[in-house]
Structure 1
Amino acid sequence: MAFCAFDDSAALFDSTPVENMFITEYMLRAPGDFVKVYLYALMLCYHPTPRMSLSSMARDLDMTEEDVERAFKYWARDGLVRQVGDNPVSFTLFNLKQLTLTRAENPGDKLYNQKFIEEAERILKRTLQPEEINLINDWIQVLELPEEVVLMLLQIEMENSRGRVSISIAGRRAKEWAQSGIRTVDDVEKIVVMGREREQQLRKLLARLGQRRTPSEDEKAMYKTWIDEWGFTPEAVQEACRETTKGTPTMAYLNGILMRQHQLGRHEVIALETGMQTEHEARNFAREVYAGLGVTGKTPTQDDLAAIETWHEQGANDELILLAVKAAHGKSGGGNMDDVDNYLQDWRRRGLTTPEAVRAESARTRMLNGQLREIYAAAGVEKRPNAPDRDLLCHWAGEMGMTQELIVQAAEYARGAGSPMMLIGRILRDWSRAGISTLEAARQEHESHIQGIAQKAPVLQTAQKQDAMLRYTPEERRATYSAAVVNFDEEDDGQ
């Protein structure tokens, strides 16, 4: 036990001094986890903890034991730490001021593999600065790239940069290689071959976009994303170039096209070609829909394309959709996509799912409208044919079996009534119950009916006679009919 010591709570409430030199010269370029290890080790120097080990430190820092060990090796390379024991493992941390003075007195001391540094300088054809040596050694210590792989990386960078290599920029390639698992010379040779193939593909792509030049680093990164991350084949990327003829032919424009295709899961040539052809046809059909609605010069929106796709999924073909467009435009004198949707949904609810069915229903509606106009004229009514009246007419002709001439005759008898259609229905019901099926019999029945009213109430005024002729009970007056027939060709049937 030490002669003098702080109590156990001192470590929690005390502070650990960190020199500014560490922050400015070492921390800024070090990996974050490695900084955690150093600061924790520094605290342990001021406040030792019994039975501390690599495993317990790893547990405290939520790191693996291997990463903690790598961190100590990293700081040992920089001269801040030295391992002084193996069993148990122990380390000594150096005072940074003293370390700086020691290095100034012994400038020839090297912490790195001198032969490796000399070979790197031979490849780069210049002397490396101390900070550059630190960065290169980070590739070895932190990224765990072997020295021979690092030398090949520098050689490739030298060839690509035409004689002047930026070590910081080369570090990007080092990180990419480390993340890709490149650890051997064979791995490097494979990626070099692949890189040359990629550059040829990219040059071909740029030429197709009308740009005959060397690809930039950003363009290489973009192309790498398309192939490696999004999973496009080079042939699929070339196929996507066709779409650039509709806009500005740039890599950024092509990136937008490929991003959408990626989201749709189209990565092969066939899928891409088929998908884009489908989209092209969809846009053309949307323009046809716009034209039918009287809209010109509008670029199809995603919402409208989605609406058309939904109609197709619900079973409507192009011809049926265009019939709905005609209906919407004819009814309102313009119409919009919502009007088209309303017609299609109404037809679907009524089982009108084919153009033939809609046309047949339209023809039937025109016929009923013509008959209703004749009935309205006989009854002295000025109105447009409507769905409830069409339903009444179908009831009279269908269930009651009345001919058009009988219905027109009943309309003449109902002329001047307050509710002529209701009176027509009452008259026809009486005739149906009496088995009347000819005009002659209908006229005889009507005369008998009028005479009977006159005999029973000779003093009735004209208005009262008309009310008596209505023939409807209160219950019958409350009876209504409903119909859902929509005549989208009303404007075209000559009315």
Structure 2
Amino acid sequence: MRIYMGFCNFSQELVNVGYTTVDNLFITNYLPEAPNKYVDIYLFGLYLCSKGGQDNNLDTMSRVLGIDKEDILTAYTYWQELGLVHILQKNPCEVVYMPVRSDDVLLKKIKPQKYQQFNKDIQGVLCERMISTNEYNEYYIFLETTFFEPKALVAVAKYCAEKKGNDINYPYILKVARSLADSGVKTVDAVEQKLSTTVKYTDDIKLLFGALGTKRSIEYDDRRLFEKWTEGMGYDLETLRFVAKKHKKASMEYLDRRIDAYYKMGLHNQSDIANYDKNRDKMFDLAKQINKIIGVYYQSLDFIIEDYITPWLNKGFDENSLTLVAKYCFKQNVRTIDGMDGVVQKFYQKGLTSQNAIAQYMTELVSQDKQVKQVLQTAGLLRGVSQSDRNSYKTWTESWGMPHDLVIYVATLANGATNQMAYINKVLSDFKANGIDSVEKAQQHKQKPKTQAKYKQREYTDEEFDALFEDLKNVEL
């Protein structure tokens, strides 16, 4: 769910002790018919809408409710079909909560003659049964809320009737229409073109059904998913059949979730998928070990393997290096899998993926901290080393090329100053400008009168500064 930080926001304390408002229309019109778990998911998601932050995600909901992510997506698909939410995308999952509609108010605004031609056309398509007033109302609500062309909806009904018979029920017609609307296909020409192209997948889908052990007829959603996997993701039929054989009797929706997971992990062919499945038990053990080290517990480890472990391994990390990073995170009070992911990415950006490389880098950091600590103590600062101190020392020694003994010499001069670090910065900056890079040169420079500066001082006007800044606009400092 996408949450944006605005001008005014609730504090976390207020969110925790506050209230989540539930529309009475939801309680009276939707709650009685919905499965219990689906209601739990809807309400917890409503709570997350006001929460924001890193916890506002599918992983949190799965962990707190103890419900698999796949079941959560199924529930949101149910609510989407009722018009209460809109699933923007599944990877990563983003759900937008819609207003709970009052159909009576909407229907009262529709003029009787507005859909006269539509009524005739769709009744002509569904000629083996009479369309009820309630069914017409469902069509009207869909057309009014999605801006779907009436003729386009008739085309959808005709397509469904050809595939499943003229007595096809209206929820299926609307399901196909909503799928098209979600893809931005809303005009009659676009709908007819889209529906005509799906026919070409018939033979391939039959082969896929054979691998799944499915004997039912092909529906629109089957064609839509097959097009997504082949045209959108680039999977070939043999790879899809390979996955299907591993999940006999599974639904196409379940197969879609597996393929989404493989795609997210960068697994695009049979060899990659087979290798992943072969090592899955090892990855489960690694996920458990990492969770134990950083002090977290998740009932389901699937999302950790798919969203974190596999991408980390694909970047070149191994079990030893990841457990080392986990131990480092624990010591640094990074106690979430998301937080560890941020640390892993930092090491990756530095080109550090092996245990030895990471350990050596950490050793260098510890050694550098000892040097920074020496600078602070010499300057009379009796405190711990901060990140700002590290950044300053790195600038002095790496960017400015000042040796450690020269920094210590300047720290000696800074002892007793009002702001020691500012003093050291100012003096070393002056040394850099004058080409002073040793203690000996610094001592000689200190003994010279101020009038013997190596460079001529000058005054700059505001206009000259503006021109100088303009010249430096595209230059990285």
Pick the structure with greater CA Rg.
1
The bucket for the TM-score relative to the shorter chain is 0.3 to 0.5
